[in-house]
Structure formats: C-alpha cells, structure tokens
Structure 1
Amino acid sequence: MQTKHFIDDPTHLVHTALHSLTLTNPSVAFDLTNKIIYRRPTKELLDEPKVSIISGGGSGHEPAFAGFVGKGFLTAGVAGTIFASPNTLQVQRAIMSRVPTEKGVLVITFNYTGDVLNFGLAAEKAKAAGVETEFFAIGDDVGVGREKGGKVGRRGIGGSILVLKIICALAELGGSLSEVYTLAKKVAGNLVSVGASMEHVHVPGRENPNSDEIIPTEEIEVGMGIHNEPGSHKVSATLPELVKIMLAQMIDPEDKDRHFVHITKQDKVVLLINNLGGVSNLEIGGVVAEVHTQLKEKWGITPVRVIVGTFITSLNGLGFSASLLKLDDTGLGQGKSMLELLDAPAEAFGWAAATRTSTWEADNSATMDREADSARDLKASHLSIDAQQAHTVLKAGLDKVIVAEPEVTKYDTIVGDGDCGIGLKRGAEAVLKELSSGDLPTDAVAFLNKIVPVVEHHTDGTSGALYSIFLNALVHGLREQDTGSSQKVDAKIWAAALKSARTALGKYTPAAVGDRTLIDALDPFIETLSSTGDVKKAAEAAKEGTEKTKTMKASLGRAVYVGAESEWMGKVPDPGAVGLQELLLGIAGAS
C-alpha cells in the first residue's frame, strides 16, 4: 500500500482538486464553501433551461463526480471529504441556488447509505419547497451478490458512469424530468459491473494501515468496492484467470446470486473498463484486450462500443472494474437510443471529449448564485389547522419524548451506540422552543415547515436523518392533498400525507416491519390511522409494534453488529421505535 502523498492535508487537497476543474474547463464554476462544481449560467442555459442533473459523493473518486460537470453532462457535482458523503446542506445549496430548476431536477448518486440519505433528504427538501425533483441511486455491482447485499442492494461502481452519460445527453436534448428519471432506472437495470484490486488504498492524512488492512502480495480481491470494501473473495490468479472469474460473475446465468441482467450473444452490449486510479495505461490496455478476447471467444459477445479510461477511482487504487451494458430500446424515438445518447458529445473533464473552441472564447465570467426566495420556500397552501391546538398536541408528544430519554438511552446503550435518546431529546426541546417563539401559522404546510429545519439542525445520527427525510416528505405529502380549495386538515388528509411520506422514506432505507427499527412503530400507526381515522387506536398499534421488536433479530442499524444477542433478546425493544412510540402516544393522548 502506497502511503506517501504529495499533499497530506486532505481538506486542502480536495479544495485544490476541485478548483483545478475550473482551469481545465472554463464553462464551470466553483462554490468553495459547499464544494460544488456547477455549469456557469450561459445565455443558452438560461434562455433554454433543461432538466438539471446533480450528482456527487465523497472525494477520492476523481474525476467523478465534479469532473463530469459540463455541457452534455452533469449540471452540478457536490463533493464530500475523502470517501465521505457531502452533507444535506451542500446538496440543497446545489439544487436551490446553483442550477436552473424550471424544468425540474434529478438528484442521482451511487447506492451508498450516506449518499442516499444526504442526497435523498436534499431532494425531499426541494420537493417540499415546490421544486419538481426526482431521486435515484445507481447500483451496478455484482461482485457482492443478492445474499450478501441484502436489502441494501447493489453498490454503485464504475459502470454507473454510463448511466450518467446517457441520461445527461437526454437532458441536453430537452428530455423531460420523467423521461430522464425513467431512463436512469432502465439503463441501471441493464448494467452489470465487477471490480478487482491487488491492494487497498491509503487516504491522505490518515495513519498508516495495520497489517490486517493489507492484501497479501500474491492475492487479488475480486469484487472490491470503491472505498476498500471487500468483495466476494480473494484469489491468486493470472490476468486471464481473473478475467474469467469476473466475466462469469457478470454473465453466467447459473450464478443465481449475481444474475441481475440476462445477456446473450444476440444482445448488443457496451464494454467499459475503468481504471481504479493506480494501474498504468500500459496494463489497462492489456486488461482491455484480455476482456475483449474472452467475451468474444468464451461468450460469443462482441461489444459495439469499448470505452476505456479513468472514470471512477478509489484514489490510486491498484485495480480496475469491468462493466457490460445491455442496450435496449428507450422508447424515445430517433436520436435518443442508448447508443446515440452514449455517443453524444459532452464537454466534461472526466469524459473523453475535447472542450470546443467556442466555449474557450466565450464570456466565462458569469456565476450562478440563485438564492431560494422565501415565497418559493413557503409556498402557501389551502390546508388549514388550529395552530394552538396543534401546538398543544405536539407539545404533549414531545414532552413524552423528553421524559423517555433515560429509558431510550439505556436501551440504546445495550443494542446501539447510546446516542439515540439524547438526540431525540435535543430535537424535541428545540422544536418546543421554536413553537413557543412567535406566531404559529394556521397554514398546515407552513406550520410543518416551521418544524422541519429545527429537527434537521438539532436531531443527530441516523434517527435525525430519517426524521428529517420523513418530515420533508410529509410537507410534500400535504401539498399533494391540496385541491386548491380551502379545507381543514383532518385525520383522512393526515393519513394520506403520512402514507406518501412513508413511500418517500422507502427510497432511502430498506427498513420494513420486522427489521427491528422505528418502522415497526411507524407503519402500524400509519396503517391504522388510514383504516380507522382514530389516532388513539393508531398510537396503540405503534405501541404494539414497538413491543414486538423485543423478540426481533436486527437486520439493519447498529444492533446488527452488537454481540451477546442472547442477553437482550426478548427484553430490550428497539430504542428508535420506543422514542417514536412515546411521541405518538403523547399526541394521541392530547388529541
């Protein structure tokens, strides 16, 4: 493992690397504070707005993601620190102030928990603010199969760049948000990838690795992710032997655990070979030749396109990934096939297309700094509530959350990391303080909007992210119930809005009833309220759901990793479910 770097300060490294993109492509600008690279607001971009596409993730994967910003490609890329997702506020800033929103925004990232939660929350906040927004997480990896991937699903690795390239080309041609979003799902569903590496990578600024972090010299990790994550297994193999294993994982229909896409010799496919950052061009050429030869001779497949380069890296990872995209009809007509969109020109540092002379000679001094105006953030609705009654009811629930903090903390100390109770209490206290200051709106959407940012800023951890996403989605869910005529919000409207928010939350977490999470309390509450309209019965259903978590084996969250399960099984409920249960019981008791 190489542990020497020219720049050891990771913060300085990320900032300067992002700044460099404005030097190689004058049509992009840099928001240093939020680590956003975005297309400059040219006359063309402003006069003929198109669907904006925003992606991003941790740094260390260059040129992804900011390196794909430019005409014909991404509208903006948001960067985190090395191997860590950017936070929600960065992504929200990109959506609301750095890109055109008139035709809608697609927020698209790779399928990693931090990215899904932070980009997803920003997408829900944009929808809550009235911006037409869709979210999608790309998963193309087959190195980790269905059994090991579980509910999390496939990771996003090298082949994901093909999804970005194709949908961005469609957006550039004027495709609608619905068309771009649908195509993203279709392309990702036709894509398989697998990586391999001879070594883990060292992150600048971190201590030197322990011996157990080093892959033995004679071994290769098959299926390694882009953050040093393990794959399916290690092998001692020559390149031909390695390629044989990788292609089998992508194509062999007998491998039921990994057979995500059925590819035959009759299909037209695109082959992409991605350098993880540390393999010489000479060796990558040898890899390309070997993969192409085996595809043709072993599987009878001759790719219609072979794309090779350094697209999505793992710093200076000593490995590569191979991807196969099965071409399919987009249903969008002439000029918009997957292949035509893949071949369409693009001006982005990370893509093999030169920046045009006209772009260099253009006026490249403009910047985009569109501030989200309060009128759009707080778009009025026709849904009304009794603000004082709502305050009273909500206060009763929040008071119970605060009182329950010692109990929740005790449970979380046993099956988690001990911060759940404190985080929920901090958030509850902050909301109570906000509701006690100033006039309370009678507009239901505005009332909820008053609470949302408080929860975001004061509730920590995974629970904080889940509550924040859910509340933002609840704002959007309420807006969906607005018929344009004045109406008072009743149990039926709340139930419909809650169901909508729960559906949105499902995009960002695979948690379901039975997984021992707060969902075991939330789903029974929503279902019972929807069927009965009785908040007290709904709260009792949430309580029953929480009680059942005592005997559940955790499949998500920190409890998955906690040992000595026999010591707490049947005794300790899920802490997050307990916290939510207390909130709902308090609300029901005061309703």
Structure 2
Amino acid sequence: MQTKHFFTDPTHLVNSALHSLTLTNPSLAFDRPNKIIYRRPETNVEPKVSIISGGGSGHEPAFAGFVGKGILTASVAGTIFASPSAEQVRRAVMERVETSKGVLVITMNYTGDVLNFGMAAEKAKAAGIDTEFFAIADDVGVGRAKGGKVGRRGIGGGIFVLKIVGALADAGASLDDVHRIAQLTTDNIVSLGSSLEHVHVPGRKVPDPNSDEVVPHDEIEVGMGIHNEPGSHRVKATLEELIQTMLRQLLDLNDKDRAYVKYSESDKFALLINNLGGVSTLELSGITAEVHLQLERDYKISPLRTIQGTFLTSLNGMGFSVSLLRLADTGLGPGKSLLELIDAPSEAVGWAAPVHTSTWENQSDATFESKRVSVTEEVPSNLNADPTVLKKVLASGLQRMIDAESLVTRFDTIVGDGDCGIGLKRGAEAILSFLNDPSTPLTNDLVSTVNKIISIVENTMDGTSGAIYAIFLNAFAHGLRAQSPPSESQPATVQIWARALQHSLKALAKYTPAQPGDRTLVDALEPFVKTLAESGDVQAAAKAAEEGTEATKHMRPGLGRAVYVGGEEEWLGKIPDPGAYGLSEFLTGLAEAVARL
C-alpha cells in the first residue's frame, strides 16, 4: 500500500483539485463553498436538460472531470470517499444550472449518495423544477445474494451512462428520454474490478501491515469496491487466469447470482477498461489486450469500441475494472444510438476529449449569480400546535436521545462504523438549543416550526442517518402542509400527525429499500407510524417502536454497513440496530412527555 502523499490536508487537496478544472477548461466555474463545478452560462443557446452528478472525492476524474459540453452540466463533490450533503446538491440544482427544460440528478448507487442526491431532487421538485433522479448500478463484484436490497454498486461502467445521457441531453432530448436512456444503459452494463491492494487516504494513519486492510503480496482481490469495500474473493493467479475469472463473473449466463445482462451471439458491445488510479499505462495497455483476446477467443465478442483510460479511480488504487455495455436499441432513431452517443464530441477533460479552439477564444467571466430561492417555510400554514406543549414533548425525546449516545455508539462500533451515536447526539443537541433559544421563539405555525428543525438537521447531521432523517422530515412537512386548511386555523390532531407520518414513510421508501426485518431504524419507525395511525395512542406507538427495536437483535442485516461487517456470531441476539435504538429512545421520550401533559 502506498501511504506517502504530497498533500497531508485532504480538504485543501480536494479544493485545489476542483479549482484546477477551471484552469484546464475555461468554460467551467467553481462554487468553492459548495464544491460545485458547473458550466458557465452560454448566450444564444437553446436551453437543454441539465445533468448533475457527483459523489465523494478520490475518484478523479469522476465526477467533476466530466463537466463540460456533451456530458455533465454540473458536479457536486464531497470529501474523500464521502457523499456531498443534500444542501450542496440542492444549490447545484437550483442555483448553478439551467432548469427550464428539467434536470436529471444522477449518481452512483451508494447509500449516502442516493439519500443526499435524492433529497435534493425532492427539494427541487417541491420548488417546481421538473426533476428526475437516477442511481447507476453496474458492479457484479457483489452478487444478488449478498447485495440484497442494496443492489449493485456503481463503478467504472457508470461513466458510459454519464457520457451517453450527457450527449443525449446536449442533442436536445427531453428529460423523459434522458431518464429512460439512463435506465436502459444501466440495464445493459456489467462491470467488475480487481486490485492488488487497498488504498490509503491522505491524512489517515498508516494501517498495520499485518491487518486485513492490507492485501497479501501474492494475492489479488476480485470485485474490490472503489472505497476499499471487499469483493467476492481473493485469488493467487496470473493475469491470464485473473481475466478468465473476471470474464466468467461478467458474462456467464448460467451464474444466477451475477447474470445481470442477457445477450446472444448477434449482440454488439462496447468495452471500457478503467484504471483505478495506480496502474501504469504500460500495464493497463497489456490488460486491455488480454481482455480483448479472451473476449474474442472464449465468448466470440469483438467490441465495436474499446476505450482505455482513467475514468473512475480509487485514489491511487493498484487495480482496474472491466465494463461491457450491450448496445441495445434506444428507439430514438438515427444519431441517437448508444454507440453514436458514446462517439459524440465533448469538452470534458475526464473523457480525454480536446477542448475546441473556439472555447478558448471566447472565454467569459459570466457566472450564475447566487439566487434567493423561496423555501417552503416562508409560506405560512393554518395548521397549529401549542409551542409550549410542542417544546416540552420534543425536549423530552431529544434529551433521551442525547443520553443514549454512549450506548448507541457502543452498538454501532460493534456492527457499523461507530458514528451513529455521535451524529444523533449532535443533531438532538442542536435542535434542543434552538428550542431553548429565547431569540427564536416558536410560533403556533406547526409547519414553520418543522421546517426550522429540518434546516438544523440538514446542517448538523451528516452521513446516512442524517440524510434519512432529513428526507423523512422534509416529506413530513409536506404531509402536514397538505392537510392545512385553506383559510381558518386548525390545531394539529393525532390523526393529522399520523397521516403526515404515513406520507413520510412512503416518501422515504423511494430512496431506501429498507423494510421491517432489514435491521435498520425502519424496524422502529414503521411500527410507531402504523400503531399511531391505528390507535391514536402515542404510548402504544412508542411501545411498538421499542418492541421493533428489540426484535432487531435477532435479525441478520439486510441493509447498511452491517451487511459487510461480518462477525454476526458474536453479536446476533445481543445487539440491537443502533439507528433503531436511538430513534426508539427519542420516541419513548416523546411518549413520556405526552403522558405527563
């Protein structure tokens, strides 16, 4: 593992790398506070569908390197291997791109990205912007059985999807067609990576050379993810043997766990060989030749396009990925086949296409100026709640969640990455501080209060839990407002709260497949919402959430990081899901306060 770097400050590194794109392509601008790279506005050009992508840094040139004519309109970056926040993405959609023809928000299929980009897409829709969301999933390293509801990860083949939808949007296609072709392309891609070693993130400690963080010198990990996630297995093999193994996982139609793309002898393909960052061009070229040889020899596949380069990396990863795209019919006619869209010209440096002379000659300082966007909380509602009562009830639940931090952290250290408790505590403390601040007294307007709490959650809670809570609360505010009477004020009854919660649960399901039994916070949330709707009894609903949380002790994880952690024999039957436990504590605190009223 290479642990030496020129940069030791990862934040400075990310900002410097993003800024460099405006130096190598003058048509781009950089919103530094929000880590957004976007195309400068053009004059005398017909508006087109905007394509916004992004994700964690460390995958360069993805995703900012694909911003430019013919591919992306904007990209939003997080820190290294971490999703950007929903607020960053919202600003990209609502402030940095043309929206009159609609916006496609498209990212790779990783939980944090799906939740944060998805939440931003929902906010854009709520603001009246025609918006579609899509998550690219092309990896076969983790098959159907292990991937479960999470599905395939997004890796190198996703660059084919970005290139194709970008070219299609640039050709003037509708948002519906662009969204449909994103799905069609993804449905016809299989990708798989292999690596000699994990990667080291600048600024992090050097791992123990005898730990699992280091791949043994004579082994190769097949299917390793782009964030050091484990693959399907490790092998001791020559390059020829490795490629044979990889092509079997990609193309064996009898492998029910991984046969994602059906094909026949008449089908045509495009091939993408992607450098994960640390393989020399010499070795990568040899890998391309071997893949091409075995495709023709063993599968009678002669790719119509063979594209080799560095497109989606894992920092300086000593590995590569192979992606095969079946060139299915788009149904859009001449000029808009998948192959023609791959071949279409672009000016994104990540696609290694030259920037035209005219672009350099017509440099402009024009930018999209920051715009004030009306938000929902500025529109009053006629749904009321006594602020004194609301404060007492919320404070009780929040304090109980804060007190549970150490236990939630202990649980999450065993079955996750250890940050759940701190994230919940940070958000709860911020909301509690707001409730106790005399300079920001609560009003009777329930929707206004909920929207202020949403803003706090979005700015203080990060990671997967933060995104889930923010999506749920945004939908909850919408569910309340939908029940607000048009004229006279009305107090919020238990039935109104329950209906809004049911609406939120349904909205959340669009961005996470979690269901009761998957060992997530949904195991506490769904019983609470269901029981409250059926009985109108907050204490009974909180009890149902507690029982749902207790049941997670005996569940094998269906979603989340716990799917990959392993060691279930040590905690199964003993440790509840940390997110469910933290939420249950909050709901129990609410119920206790309601009982004292």
Structure 1's 217 and 118: CA in aligned 2 closer, same or farther, altered over 3 A? Answer: same
Match of 2:104 among 98, 103, 106: 106
> 1:453 matched to which residue of 2?
455
Do structure 1's residue 575 and structure 2's residue 578 form an aligned pair?
no
Alpha-carbon deviation of 1:290?
1.8
Q: Deviations over 1:33-82 (max 9, x none)?
A: 2222110112146xx33222221122221111100001111111122222
Q: Deviations over 1:262-320 (max 9, x none)?
A: 22322222211111122222322222222122222211222222222111112222221
CA distance in 1, matches of 2:363, 2:39: 13
Alpha-carbon deviation of 1:162?
0.8
Alpha-carbon deviation of 1:244?
1.0
Partner amino acid, structure 2, of 1:453 = S
Match of 1:154 among 149, 152, 155: 152
CA distance in 2, matches of 1:569, 1:6: 42
Structure 1's 541 and 529: CA in aligned 2 closer, same or farther, altered over 3 A? Answer: closer
Match of 2:514 among 481, 506, 511: 511
CA distance in 1, matches of 2:409, 2:227: 29
Structure 1's 206 and 168: CA in aligned 2 closer, same or farther, altered over 3 A? Answer: same
Contact 2:532 2:540 in 1 (8 A): no
> 2:591 matched to which residue of 1?
585
CA distance in 1, matches of 2:340, 2:449: 48
Structure 1's 573 and 259: CA in aligned 2 closer, same or farther, altered over 3 A? Answer: closer
Contact 2:55 2:78 in 1 (8 A): yes
CA distance in 2, matches of 1:588, 1:167: 52
CA distance in 2, matches of 1:573, 1:67: 36
Alpha-carbon deviation of 1:493?
6.5
Contact 2:525 2:580 in 1 (8 A): no
Do structure 1's residue 180 and structure 2's residue 178 form an aligned pair?
yes
CA distance in 1, matches of 2:577, 2:195: 44
CA distance in 1, matches of 2:319, 2:577: 47
Q: Deviations over 1:327-355 (max 9, x none)?
A: 22334444333223222221100113222
Structure 1's 379 and 72: CA in aligned 2 closer, same or farther, altered over 3 A? Answer: farther
Structure 1's 119 and 252: CA in aligned 2 closer, same or farther, altered over 3 A? Answer: same
Do structure 1's residue 312 and structure 2's residue 312 form an aligned pair?
yes
Q: Deviations over 1:66-112 (max 9, x none)?
A: 00001111111122222232233332332232222233322222122
Contact 1:405 1:421 in 2 (8 A): yes
Question: What secondary structure does 1:149 align onto?
Answer: helix
Question: What secondary structure does 2:177 align onto?
Answer: helix
For residues 382-401 of structure 1, the aligned pairs below 5 Å read: 384-386=382-384, 388-389=385-386, 391=387, 394-401=390-397
The TM-score, its normalising length taken from structure 2, stands at 0.86
Contact 1:520 1:577 in 2 (8 A): no
CA distance in 2, matches of 1:244, 1:8: 39
Structure 1's 498 and 346: CA in aligned 2 closer, same or farther, altered over 3 A? Answer: farther
Contact 2:382 2:486 in 1 (8 A): no
Q: Deviations over 1:546-581 (max 9, x none)?
A: 313313334155777587436736999941341353
CA distance in 2, matches of 1:477, 1:311: 42
The TM-score, its normalising length taken from structure 1, stands at 0.87
> 2:219 matched to which residue of 1?
219
CA distance in 2, matches of 1:415, 1:589: 29
Structure 1's 474 and 304: CA in aligned 2 closer, same or farther, altered over 3 A? Answer: farther
Structure 1 unaligned regions, length at least 5 = none
> 1:343 matched to which residue of 2?
343
Q: Structure 1 stretch 563-572 or stretch 183-192: which is displaced more?
A: 563-572
Question: What secondary structure does 1:550 align onto?
Answer: helix
For residues 39-50 of structure 1, the aligned pairs below 5 Å read: 39-44=39-44, 48-50=46-48
> 2:536 matched to which residue of 1?
535
Alpha-carbon deviation of 1:220?
1.6
Contact 1:411 1:573 in 2 (8 A): no
For residues 488-499 of structure 1, the aligned pairs below 5 Å read: 497-499=500-502
> 2:400 matched to which residue of 1?
404
Aligned length: 581
Question: What secondary structure does 2:325 align onto?
Answer: strand
Do structure 1's residue 279 and structure 2's residue 285 form an aligned pair?
no
CA distance in 2, matches of 1:512, 1:356: 50
Alpha-carbon deviation of 1:158?
0.5
For residues 197-212 of structure 1, the aligned pairs below 5 Å read: 197-211=195-209, 212=211
CA distance in 1, matches of 2:112, 2:578: 27
Alpha-carbon deviation of 1:251?
1.0
> 1:268 matched to which residue of 2?
268
For residues 43-82 of structure 1, the aligned pairs below 5 Å read: 43-44=43-44, 48-82=46-80
Partner amino acid, structure 1, of 2:475 = A
CA distance in 2, matches of 1:44, 1:479: 40
Contact 1:274 1:309 in 2 (8 A): yes
> 1:464 matched to which residue of 2?
466
CA distance in 2, matches of 1:469, 1:169: 31
Structure 1's 540 and 70: CA in aligned 2 closer, same or farther, altered over 3 A? Answer: same
Contact 1:224 1:230 in 2 (8 A): yes
Structure 1's 420 and 323: CA in aligned 2 closer, same or farther, altered over 3 A? Answer: closer
> 2:415 matched to which residue of 1?
none
> 2:16 matched to which residue of 1?
16
> 1:235 matched to which residue of 2?
235
Question: What secondary structure does 2:78 align onto?
Answer: strand
Q: Structure 1 stretch 204-213 or stretch 220-229: which is displaced more?
A: 204-213
> 1:523 matched to which residue of 2?
526
Partner amino acid, structure 2, of 1:246 = M
Do structure 1's residue 546 and structure 2's residue 546 form an aligned pair?
yes
Query: RMSD between aligned alpha carbons?
Result: 3.4
Contact 1:57 1:78 in 2 (8 A): yes
> 2:246 matched to which residue of 1?
246
Structure 1's 408 and 439: CA in aligned 2 closer, same or farther, altered over 3 A? Answer: closer
Structure 2 unaligned regions, length at least 5 = 413-417
Question: What secondary structure does 2:307 align onto?
Answer: strand
Identity between Structure 1 and Structure 2 (%): 56
Structure 1's 487 and 24: CA in aligned 2 closer, same or farther, altered over 3 A? Answer: same
Alpha-carbon deviation of 1:497?
4.6
Match of 1:169 among 158, 167, 173: 167
